[in-house]
Amino acid sequence: MIVTVTMNPAIDKTVEIDALQPGGLNRIRKVEYDAGGKGINVSKTIRELGGESVATGFLGGNAGKTIENVLNEKGIRNDFIWVDGETRTNTKVFEVNGAVTELNEPGPVISEEKLEEFLSRLEGYADQDTLFILAGSIPSGVKKDVYADIIRRVHKKGAKVLLDADGEVFRISLEANPDIIKPNRVELEEYAGIDYRASTEELLELAHGLMERGIETVAVSMGRSGAMLIRPGYEVKCPALSVKAHSTVGAGDAMVAALAYSWDRQLDNDETVRLCMAASAGAVTTIGTKPPTREVVEELKKQVIIERIGA
């Protein structure tokens, strides 16, 4: 079973206007709402791929209800902890000239009691057939080591963890040895204190360093330069697929979804890589974080070229 964790979900509100007039009246031409947050995006892509997951985290207020409704409509199981306050609505204002203005709400503050309730709920899902996806930002009131705490707790019950975080949270969480990680190139370079563009060899070396500590799979996404998948005895690199790009936001989340789906279905290494490349490229062809359809992913899989590197 796959459990996606979104501790700080959001309604993603997209607004289209001609030209933003600060301090004036702005008439909206088109508005769209979707449930967002990295873990939720991963659940949506898993659903499109034909898999199942349980989405969890914290929800509050009317915005929280809206997210729950969206997930139910999409047939995504969900089991959120309800908190006081209002789940965030993050607004992106698109102007005709291409400018994008973002207005992000802070989201609810999580109390210690609610956090403890959440952690025990997660432990309830943990067994050797469970993969937890820890992705995205951490809400106010919660310490940065919460992912590390979750990893240690669910590991005790034999569960696995896929981590997708950056900066300090990434660094602290790595100390608890997640099983699968998917940093993008910049996240990995920052972690290693490298302030230039690392070569494939250097990225491979960094991945080896992480694996020595107990991380089993390192997927390094490199945007339009493709990706690397590194596992014991299996080290490959794939050029990105050639697609018409609409929005690269969420491409990494689609790759995380493909990694999780592959783990759940016990797909072999080559098939895992094909799915990762196709799902992430498919996500680039859609608007915003909308997941690609299974048909699009199947078609794109034919384009994948797997190059062996290292071992």
Ligand X SMILES: Nc1ncnc2c1ncn2[C@@H]1O[C@H](COP(=O)(O)OP(=O)(O)OP(=O)(O)O)[C@@H](O)[C@H]1O
Which option in Mg ion, ligand X, none does residue 141 bind, with CB closer than 5 to 8 A by kind? none
Q: At what angle do helices 38-49 and 269-285 cross, to 10 degrees?
A: 110
**114 or 182: whose CB is closer to ligand X?**
182
Which option in Mg ion, ligand X, none does residue 226 bind, with CB closer than 5 to 8 A by kind? ligand X
| Choices 2-10, 52-60, 143-151, 251-259 (CB under 6 A): range interacting with ligand X | 251-259
Q: Is the torsion defined by CA of 26, 29, 35, 38 positive or negative? A: negative
| Choices 51-59, 84-92, 100-108, 242-250 (CB under 6 A): range interacting with ligand X | 242-250
Which option in Mg ion, ligand X, none does residue 306 bind, with CB closer than 5 to 8 A by kind? none
169 belongs to the binding site for ligand X (CB under 6 A): no
Q: Return the active site residues.
A: 253
252 belongs to the binding site for Mg ion (CB under 5 A): yes
Out of 28, 96, 103, 245, which residue is the one contacting ligand X (CB under 6 A)? Answer: 245
| Choices 52-60, 92-100, 205-213, 279-287 (CB under 6 A): range interacting with ligand X | 279-287
Per-position DSSP letters for the chain, written without gaps between them: -EEEEESS-EEEEEEEESS--TTS----SEEEEEEESHHHHHHHHHHHHT---EEEEEE-HHHHHHHHHHHHHTT-EE-PEE-SS--EEEEEEEETTS-EEEEE---PPPPHHHHHHHHHHHHHH-STT-EEEEES---TTS-TTHHHHHHHHHHTTT-EEEEE--HHHHHHHHTT--SEE--BHHHHHHHHT--S---HHHHHHHHHHHHHTT--EEEEE-GGG-EEEEETTEEEEEPPP----S--TTHHHHHHHHHHHHHHTT--HHHHHHHHHHHHHHHHHSSTTPPPPHHHHHHHHTT---EE---
Q: Closest distance between ligand X and the C-beta of residue 30, in Å?
A: 23
Out of 63, 230, 243, 304, which residue is the one contacting ligand X (CB under 6 A)? Answer: 243
User: How many residues sit in the footprint of Mg ion (CB under 5 A)?
Assistant: 1
248 belongs to the binding site for ligand X (CB under 6 A): yes
C-alpha–C-alpha distance, residues 201 and 226, integer Å: 15
Determine contact, residues 2/131, Cβ cutoff 8 Å: yes
Which residues lie below 8 Å from residue 64, measured CB to CB, with a gap of 6+? Answer: 9, 80, 82, 86, 87
Q: Closest distance between ligand X and the C-beta of residue 135, in Å?
A: 9
Instruction: Output phi, psi for 19, to 5 deg.
Output: -145, 130
Out of 11, 142, 148, 277, which residue is the one contacting ligand X (CB under 6 A)? Answer: 277
| Choices 5-13, 75-83, 113-121, 248-256 (CB under 5 A): range interacting with Mg ion | 248-256
Residue nearest to ligand X (CB): 252
Out of 51, 85, 141, 223, which residue is the one contacting ligand X (CB under 6 A)? Answer: 223
**139 or 250: whose CB is closer to Mg ion?**
250
| Choices 44-52, 198-206, 259-267, 275-283 (CB under 6 A): range interacting with ligand X | 275-283
Out of 8, 53, 56, 184, which residue is the one contacting ligand X (CB under 6 A)? Answer: 184
**3 or 255: whose CB is closer to ligand X?**
255
What residues line the site for Mg ion (CB under 5 A)?
252
What residues line the site for ligand X (CB under 6 A)?
184, 221-224, 226-227, 240-241, 243, 245, 248-253, 255, 277, 280-281, 284
